[in-house]
Structure 1
């Protein structure tokens, strides 16, 4: 099987904003918050939402630097989930259609089972909330 055949696609289209108005509104009114949430989930909590959002906001004033920063995370999402695409397309989309790409990335993480608004720690807590103790293992080997 070729590499291209093994790769998947995005769970929603680039212009699929109508399927999730809340992430679209967040991205339209405050793209820094949207990007911060995405960045925290993609980095698995190693960097906070606040730091990602602040950097995105600061870089937004300097031509396409915010687009380059967003491109890095779009590429990370594609690689983590085996989504088909190219870094050149990630760059162009992140620079010229940043709101659409952020919405698509937000929806992708939601489709992968994340509550993006809860952050990384919130998602970890939700997934482990039912686990209260390690499973009991019967002692010794038996025949």
Structure 2
């Protein structure tokens, strides 16, 4: 009935066999099963913790891809303003990023901090690898992915934190559309 593989050991069986998980590993107490079978099954990451797009899906938003490749400080400033909830502004975050990029070439150390903050706020998994390594190896792709994630969650990256906050307060979920002018 039960699979003997350690990673598929049922939770109910674990609780029935070991009412006190604190005694596991104590050499003075006889253990009913081999230690490999007395462990909780691994948790499967939920879909809520996944990124809405992959790291290399830059072609999903070609306009942002071009802007990020030509001037990553603009994209970074927009991301930082949203992640920091408006303070500092897009301009000051982008300027700091641009100065770090121009004088040290290590702007990735600054931007990986914001990737970690973004993941923490949105409960996203750390994938495909550690945040700093993602930014060090593929800075523009990481910035594009973060931009798309915020955009896919309903934020308009071009209007900033304050305007997005007002839109949410008034219940506006999409940008208003303008009807084309009448022609004869």
Tell me the TM-score normalised to structure 1 length: 0.82
Pick from 45, 50, 56: which aligns with 1:5? Answer: 45
The CA RMSD measured in Å over matched residues stands at 2.0
1:72 and 1:127 map into 2 onto residues whose CA distance is 26
Task: Provide the C-alpha distance between the structure 1 equivalents of 2:79 and 2:99, rounded to a whole number of angstroms.
Answer: 17
Higher helix proportion, which one? 1
Structure 2: segments with no counterpart, 5+ residues? 1-40, 173-184
Indicate yes or no: 2:148 matched with 1:128.
no
Where in structure 1 are there 5+ consecutive unaligned residues?
132-143
Q: 1:4 touches 1:84 (CA, 8 Å); kept in 2?
A: no
Q: Counterpart in 2 of 1:24?
A: 65
Q: Secondary structure at the match of 2:165?
A: helix
Per-residue deviation, 1:63: 3.2
The structure 2 residue matched to 1:41, chosen from 82, 92, 103, is 82
Greater RCO, CA 8 A, separation 6+: 1
Bigger radius of gyration, 1 or 2? 2
| Change over 3 Å in CA distance of 1:74–1:130 after alignment to 2 | closer
| CA distance in structure 2 between the aligned counterparts of 1:92 and 1:9, rounded to whole angstroms | 18
